[in-house]
Amino acid sequence: MADYAEFDEREGLSRTGLIRGALDIFGLLAIIAAPIWCIYEVVVLGRSGALALPTALGVFAAMLGGIAAGVILLALSELIRRLGAIQNAAESGGERTSEWSQFGSRSARAEYEQNISQALEELVVLTREVRDISLLNEQQRAMRLDAQGHAVLDMLMREVPLLLREHNWIEARRRVQQARERFPHFKEWDKLEQQIEQMRAQVEAHDIEAAQRQIKDLTALGAWDRVADVIRELLERHPDSAKANELAHRLRAERNKAQAEQRAKLMAQAQEATTKREWKTALAAATSLIQRFPQSPEAQALRLQLPTLQENAEIQARKKMENEISERIKQRRFEEALRITHDLLEQYPDSPQAIKAREMLPKLEQKVYSSGGRY
């Protein structure tokens, strides 16, 4: 209902608003009054001894009917509210967009008229060409066709090298094919297509060689994400190259193999450290595997063990700090003991070791002060 607050404020005490208010009031009264009436009837019938199962079911059915009627009235009120809001939004939107729609219609009309004009001009030119050709004899038509073909050939002899320098093999091949369809008796199209294929093959070999050099360096570093970028760029330049696709397939297999070996290595490190109760090392290996290969089966298995590893690593770290504090005190290295104590209280404030450290902190600070140190 909050979505239509603005509409409600503008509507005020209109006829629709009064109808809605009446529906809301009667709906709520029906929902509230029906249970109260049901309870009253059951009590009266119970006191008079006339309460039987059929009578009770009838009273209960009447109560449900009253509640249903109230819900229907409220739903009808909400429906009226939504219809009014939709109508108001449509009227406002129509007023705001009328000027834009008129402008769009004028713009579309102008563009349509321009397209019609261009089409008519092209039709006139083609009609003149047909007229001119119809006035020629067979020999003159052949000469005209030959002249047009040479004009197209000269144009392609200039355009194709430019396209080849841009490595745009597809466009160069398309233009030559269109020229061949118009002038199939020209043998020069074969030379142009051979030139295109030779240039593409030369650049393909150079691109594959350069990609292989990059991939060799990147695989040595284990940078498989960068390897994927190099392969993607190569396939974009030569999508139909058998060598490029073969290289991509081989590297995909090598990457899967390398990742499997890395996962197995990290899993073995985590398991070995767990066996030796080196919880910090086990936690580091498990965390690394989960971060690097989150969707792997190994990661899913280690996620279940991660809370235990974290808890054990924390316990081990707290005990290590506790032992270091005791060792520094025995060696009368009170400043170092105090520093480790503060680290323990900061990192693990609610641990049992922290409770003991707080108890001994005043004595330790006194020893540091007595020995001439600072804390």
- The CATH number of residue 353's host domain is 1.25.40
Query: For the chain, what is the mean pLDDT?
Result: 77
Is 337 among the domain residues? yes
3: DSSP letter:
G
Please answer whether residues 163 and 173 qualify as being in contact, where contact means their C-beta atoms are separated by less than 8 angstroms.
Answer: no
| Among candidate residues 326, 228, 317, the one with its CA nearest the CA of residue 278 | 317
Percent of the chain with pLDDT over 70: 75
Whether residue 278 is found in the same domain as residue 208: no
Is 225 among the domain residues? no
Is 129 among the domain residues? no
- Highest mean pLDDT among 97-101, 217-221, 323-327 belongs to 323-327
Is 20 among the domain residues? yes
Tally of structural domains, the chain: 3
Per-residue pLDDT reduced to its tens digit, 71-96: 776 776 676 676 666 666 555 555 54
Per-residue pLDDT reduced to its tens digit, 293-316: 888 888 888 888 888 888 888 888
Whether residue 345 is found in the same domain as residue 264: yes
Q: In the prediction, which pLDDT does 207 show?
A: 84
190: left (phi over 0), alpha (psi -120 to 50) or beta: alpha
When mean pLDDT is compared across 102-111, 220-229, 358-367, the lowest value belongs to 102-111
Q: Give the global pTM.
A: 0.41
Give the residue-averaged pLDDT of 123-152.
74
Please answer whether residues 186 and 221 qualify as being in contact, where contact means their C-beta atoms are separated by less than 8 angstroms.
Answer: no
| Among candidate residues 72, 88, 71, 91, the one with its CA nearest the CA of residue 17 | 88
Q: In the prediction, which pLDDT does 4 show?
A: 42
Q: Return the higher-pLDDT residue of 354 and 181.
A: 181
Angle in degrees, 0-180, between the axes of helices 352-370 and 297-330, rounded to the nearest 10: 30
Whether residue 201 is found in the same domain as residue 265: no
Please answer whether residues 258 and 222 qualify as being in contact, where contact means their C-beta atoms are separated by less than 8 angstroms.
Answer: yes
Is 46 among the domain residues? yes
Tokens 């020995």 sit at which residue? 371
Instruction: Return the number of other C-beta atoms located less than 10 Å from residue 354's C-beta.
Output: 19
Whether residue 264 is found in the same domain as residue 208: no
Domain edge (last residue) among 49, 66, 91: 91
Please answer whether residues 364 and 374 qualify as being in contact, where contact means their C-beta atoms are separated by less than 8 angstroms.
Answer: no
Whether residue 200 is found in the same domain as residue 289: no
Please answer whether residues 309 and 283 qualify as being in contact, where contact means their C-beta atoms are separated by less than 8 angstroms.
Answer: yes
Whether residue 275 is found in the same domain as residue 365: yes
Whether residue 81 is found in the same domain as residue 159: no
Classify 306 as helix, strand or coil: helix
Per-residue pLDDT reduced to its tens digit, 19-51: 777 767 877 777 787 778 777 777 777 777 666
Whether residue 190 is found in the same domain as residue 271: no
What's the rounded Cα separation, in Å, for the pair 291 and 300? 11
Statement: residue 154 has pLDDT above 70: yes
Domain containing residue 26 = 2-91
Whether residue 75 is found in the same domain as residue 169: no
Whether residue 208 is found in the same domain as residue 264: no
Domain edge (last residue) among 91, 116, 133: 91
Domain edge (last residue) among 52, 68, 91: 91
Whether residue 366 is found in the same domain as residue 285: yes
Is 235 among the domain residues? no
Is 154 among the domain residues? yes
Is 125 among the domain residues? no
Whether residue 207 is found in the same domain as residue 285: no
What's the rounded Cα separation, in Å, for the pair 237 and 167? 8
What's the rounded Cα separation, in Å, for the pair 226 and 247? 15
E strand or H helix at 148, and its extent? Answer: helix 138-165
Q: In the prediction, which pLDDT does 156 show?
A: 87
Burial class (CB in 10 A: 0-12, 13-18, 19+), 310: middle
